[in-house]
């Protein structure tokens, strides 16, 4: 199919929504986008699987990345799209084909932006990390992800959400000794011992540090617990799975050290970790973005793909049309006015 | 096959061991026992599936039950039996064909015992309770299990072990409210809440009451714990499985009331319960047994089939040859001298 990038962003969003692109099945949409961008002489386009990267190369002193994912969660009887009362309904309308439409509109219009721009469209954001197209790009062509600031056009209700917190999963194990439960004193109950792990969690005082002008909110929580051998056996092992959400002023290593110190009497295995991302709002490129967008930026507490840019040293923010609470719902929709607002503000930023 | 009940108890034990009778596969052994008992004119024999019951009916003022199970745990390369250094080795030698041999020897010799005797041989003791042959007998022919005292010839090393403790399983549930773990303060962590359940367990002071002259030892322990939704979700439920072992001076209902009171702030489901059994050692029949056997009786802390007699109002004890610690092991064996001792002492009791 052919995409007409000269249509307004709301109409373009509807066109994108009507090309189904559930994770793993993005090829038709990636082909359409690559085809449309190939017709723009001011851009150089690269393809990597179902990811598409288009760049200006004007020798500007700064380069910004505008990124968005093409995939959606599975359909829920919510295609084709329809417009009603100033809203566009349909799978992906909010998360995040309206953001992708804004990217495409900017790519179409900005033959000579004030900053060099890299437009990144990628696949498989809604599924397990190993399939993530942005992760694959960062391995296959890291040079394409270089720049001074990244903007991920995920739905934020047209608010700047800066950086993101890191996340870490650890298994904290209490050990004991098995015995028959009728003679429990011959053993040592590991579940009772795990009470000490829970005590640490219950009394934990999380930090709320300010990083680059935004306030984060850490958290340390049990997200799983398992123990038990049989109903007549004193258990010799109880594993508490702990999730630590940490502000972007800690590295993964520092976060791990903190968790190990908290549970120093126990066996601690870090089973998963993803770094946070500083918002970088005090940097020059981000400050100009903030000025163009207005409003009060807030810290992103959940982990998002902005952290993949942070690994490469780029500060990154989320900024896009759509209410994030509506993402993944069957009634998913987006205000048409927010699509237009987002396009206008980014256009103003990139032409100032 | 034919069993010769005139052989000595050690030889008879070897004969029994050499008829494999893993739970569910007791028919050959039950047939052999029923056949041998049918030749004894002083006994009336009844068959119920793979259980065999034989009784004297001499109008004695007291009736005692001698009971044993025919089944064994699965073979472990430990058949046929062999004798070495005064020990008989083989599957079931200890648990509990040596006890069954003593029952058969007594049945053979005691044409006119001082107390009427009911010999009970039953199937499926080593598997789930619903298949237990003694339970089935108590439903199909409760009149066969009436009497003044029951002796279960399980291995006790020729010590009287009196009664047994009751056992109860309860699921104690802490509830909370789900939230994304990056914004944990919007939820309430049920695993952290389960810390209060563990606090009750950790601070519990178990009773050690004396019942009919024996000291029991109660215990309240977590034997399982489970909670968790996903690694980024504050869990809304955590279930602690608690095992309460209670002395036979509490009924099941009283034990349940005690557990509910301890965890009064939580949802408590009693998922399984089995009553204890008083040892009845102060009763006349048991006192005479004690005098014949000698030694210091001890309380049975684990749950055993003696409780099935207690339900019918009979006190019951365990008394038999073999070290209970060897039960279910591949190297299972029994001291030949203990088989002879057990036979001699029970013979003395039932002829005095």
pLDDT tens, residue by residue, A137-146: 999 999 999 9
- Smallest CA–CA separation between B207 and chain A, in Å? 13
pLDDT, tens digit (0-9, with 9 covering 90-100), for B199-216 = 999 999 999 999 988 999
- Smallest CA–CA separation between B242 and chain A, in Å? 8
* Catalytic residue chosen out of the listed positions B15, B26, B71, B123: B71
Rounded to 5°, angle at Cα B171 from B166 and B173: 150
pLDDT of residue B1: 80
Where is average pLDDT lowest: A66-75, A169-178, B6-15, B308-317? B308-317
Are A223 and B238 in contact (CB < 8 Å)?
no
Are A219 and B182 in contact (CB < 8 Å)?
yes
3-state class (DSSP) for residue B82? strand
* Catalytic residue chosen out of the listed positions A71, A212, A305, A323: A71
For B238, the closest of A201, A225, A243 (CB atoms) is A225
Q: How far apart are CA A305 and CA A164, in angstroms?
A: 9
Instruction: Give B123-154 as a 3 state SS string.
Output: CCCCCCHHHCHHHHHHHHCHHHHCCCEEEECC
Respond yes or no: is residue B71 known to be catalytic.
Answer: yes
pLDDT, tens digit (0-9, with 9 covering 90-100), for A262-302 = 999 999 999 989 899 988 888 888 888 999 998 899 998 88
pLDDT, tens digit (0-9, with 9 covering 90-100), for B140-177 = 999 999 999 999 999 999 999 999 999 999 999 999 99
Q: How far apart are CA A171 and CA A163, in angstroms?
A: 27
Residue with tokens 């002008």: A213
pLDDT of residue A232: 86
Q: How far apart are CA A190 and CA A24, in angstroms?
A: 43
Residue among B202, B117, B153 at smallest CA distance from A238: B202
Q: How far apart are CA B154 and CA B324, in angstroms?
A: 8
pLDDT, tens digit (0-9, with 9 covering 90-100), for A52-104 = 999 999 999 999 999 999 999 999 999 999 999 999 999 999 999 999 999 99
Task: Write b or e for each residue in A70-84: b if 16 or more Cβ atoms lie within 10 A of its Cβ, otherwise e.
Answer: bbbbeeeebbebebe
Alpha helices in B150-250 (DSSP H): 190-193, 195-203
Query: Nearest residue of A to residue B191 by CA position?
Result: A222
Residue pair B164/B302 in contact (Cβ under 8 Å)? The answer is yes
Q: What is the mean pLDDT of residues A142-163?
A: 94
Residue B130, pLDDT above cutoff 90: no
Q: How far apart are CA A83 and CA A101, in angstroms?
A: 16
Respond yes or no: is residue A161 known to be catalytic.
Answer: no
Are A194 and B189 in contact (CB < 8 Å)?
no
Q: How far apart are CA A134 and CA A140, in angstroms?
A: 10
Q: How far apart are CA B300 and CA B304, in angstroms?
A: 8
A80: preceding bond cis by omega (within 30 degrees): yes
Where is average pLDDT lowest: A308-312, B87-91, B181-185, B220-224? A308-312
Q: How far apart are CA B240 and CA B257, in angstroms?
A: 18
* Catalytic residue chosen out of the listed positions A15, A95, A123, A125: A125
Q: What is the mean pLDDT of residues B21-27?
A: 97
* Element at B176 (helix H, strand E): none
Residue among A165, A158, A27, A31 at smallest CA distance from A96: A158
Tokens of B38: 């049918």
Residue among A222, A199, A266, A180 at smallest CA distance from B221: A180
Where is average pLDDT lowest: A34-43, A154-163, A235-244, B295-304? B295-304
Are B181 and A223 in contact (CB < 8 Å)?
yes
Residue among B156, B181, B160 at smallest CA distance from B280: B160
Residue pair B168/B273 in contact (Cβ under 8 Å)? The answer is yes
Q: What is the mean pLDDT of residues A217-222?
A: 98
Query: Nearest residue of A to residue B237 by CA position?
Result: A224
Q: How far apart are CA B29 and CA B3, in angstroms?
A: 10
Residue among A243, A222, A229 at smallest CA distance from A187: A229
Q: How far apart are CA A5 and CA A173, in angstroms?
A: 56
β-pairing verdict for A149-152 and A63-69: parallel
Residue pair B194/B292 in contact (Cβ under 8 Å)? The answer is no
* Confidence label for A1 from pLDDT (cuts 50, 70 and 90): confident
B98-109 and B27-38 helices, crossing angle to 10°: 20
Give CA separation, B176 vs A296, B63, B186, B192, B237, in Å: 33, 57, 11, 9, 6
Residue pair B23/B72 in contact (Cβ under 8 Å)? The answer is yes
- Smallest CA–CA separation between A201 and chain B, in Å? 7
Distance from the Cα of residue A248 to its chain's centroid: 14
pLDDT of residue B313: 82
Q: How far apart are CA B326 and CA A221, in angstroms?
A: 45
Q: How far apart are CA B136 and CA B130, in angstroms?
A: 8
pLDDT of residue B61: 94
CB contacts of A219 in chain B (<8 Å) are 181-182, 184-185
Q: How far apart are CA A347 and CA B61, in angstroms?
A: 106
List, in order, residues 6 or more apart from B31 with CB less than 8 Å away.
none
CB contacts of B231 in chain A (<8 Å) are 169, 223-224, 241, 243, 272
pLDDT of residue A324: 87
pLDDT of residue A231: 86
* Element at B121 (helix H, strand E): strand B116-122
Residue pair B93/B13 in contact (Cβ under 8 Å)? The answer is yes
Residue pair A70/A29 in contact (Cβ under 8 Å)? The answer is yes
Q: What share of chain A is helix, strand, coil (3-state, %, to 5)?
A: 35, 25, 40
Are B181 and A221 in contact (CB < 8 Å)?
yes
The one-character DSSP state at B311 is H
For B225, the closest of A184, A191, A234 (CB atoms) is A191
Where are any strands of DSSP class E within chain A?
44-48, 51-55, 63-69, 82-84, 87-89, 116-122, 149-152, 161-162, 166-175, 179-180, 210-211, 214-215, 219-228, 233-234, 237-246, 267-274, 298-299, 316-318, 333-335
Residue pair A325/A157 in contact (Cβ under 8 Å)? The answer is no
* Catalytic residue chosen out of the listed positions B15, B95, B116, B125: B125
Query: Nearest residue of A to residue B230 by CA position?
Result: A223
Are A223 and B241 in contact (CB < 8 Å)?
no
Are A180 and B219 in contact (CB < 8 Å)?
no
Give CA separation, B110 vs A306, B114, B117, B201, in Å: 88, 9, 9, 51
Name residue B226's beta-bridge partners. A226, B239
A170 torsion bin: left (phi>0), alpha (psi -120 to 50), beta (else): beta
Residue pair B66/B153 in contact (Cβ under 8 Å)? The answer is yes
CB contacts of B245 in chain A (<8 Å) are 181-182, 184
* Confidence label for B23 from pLDDT (cuts 50, 70 and 90): very high
Are A272 and B231 in contact (CB < 8 Å)?
yes
Residue A245, pLDDT above cutoff 90: yes
Are A224 and B199 in contact (CB < 8 Å)?
no
Q: How far apart are CA B69 and CA B81, in angstroms?
A: 19
């Amino acid at each position: 199919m052919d995409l007409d990038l000269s249509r307004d962003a709301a109409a373009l969003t509807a066109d994108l929504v009507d090309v189904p692109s559930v994770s793993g099945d993005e090829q038709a949409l990636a082909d359409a986008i690559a085809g449309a961008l190939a017709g723009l002489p001011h851009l150089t386009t690269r393809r990597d699987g179902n990811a598409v990267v288009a760049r200006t190369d004007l020798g500007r002193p700064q380069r910004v990345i505008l990124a968005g994912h093409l995939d959606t969660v599975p359909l829920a009887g919510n295609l084709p799209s329809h417009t009603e009362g100033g809203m566009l309904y349909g799978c992906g309308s909010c998360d995040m084909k309206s953001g992708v439409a804004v990217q495409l509109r900017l790519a179409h219009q900005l033959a000579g932006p004030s900053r060099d721009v890299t437009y990144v469209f990628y696949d498989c954001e809604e599924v397990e990390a190993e399939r993530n197209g942005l992760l694959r790009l960062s391995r296959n062509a890291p040079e394409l992800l270089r720049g001074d600031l990244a903007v991920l056009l995920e739905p934020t209700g047209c608010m700047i959400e800066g950086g993101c917190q890191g996340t870490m999963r650890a298994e904290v194990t209490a050990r004991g000794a098995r015995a028959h439960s009728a003679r429990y004193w011959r053993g040592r109950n590991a579940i009772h011992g795990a009470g000490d792990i829970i005590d640490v969690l219950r009394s934990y005082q999380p930090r709320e540090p300010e990083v680059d002008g935004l306030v984060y909110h850490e958290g340390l929580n049990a997200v799983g617990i398992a123990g038990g051998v049989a109903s007549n056996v004193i258990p010799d092992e109880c594993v508490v799975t702990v999730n630590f959400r940490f502000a972007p002023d800690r590295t993964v290593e520092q976060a791990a050290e903190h968790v190990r110190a908290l549970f120093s009497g126990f066996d601690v295995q870090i089973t998963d970790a993803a770094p946070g991302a500083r918002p970088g709002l005090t940097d020059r490129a981000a400050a100009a973005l903030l000025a163009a967008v207005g409003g009060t930026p807030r810290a992103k507490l959940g982990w998002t793909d902005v952290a993949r840019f942070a690994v490469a040293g780029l500060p990154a923010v989320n900024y896009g049309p759509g209410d994030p609470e509506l993402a993944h719902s069957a009634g998913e929709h987006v205000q048409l006015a927010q699509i237009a607002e987002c396009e206008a503000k980014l256009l103003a930023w990139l032409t100032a």
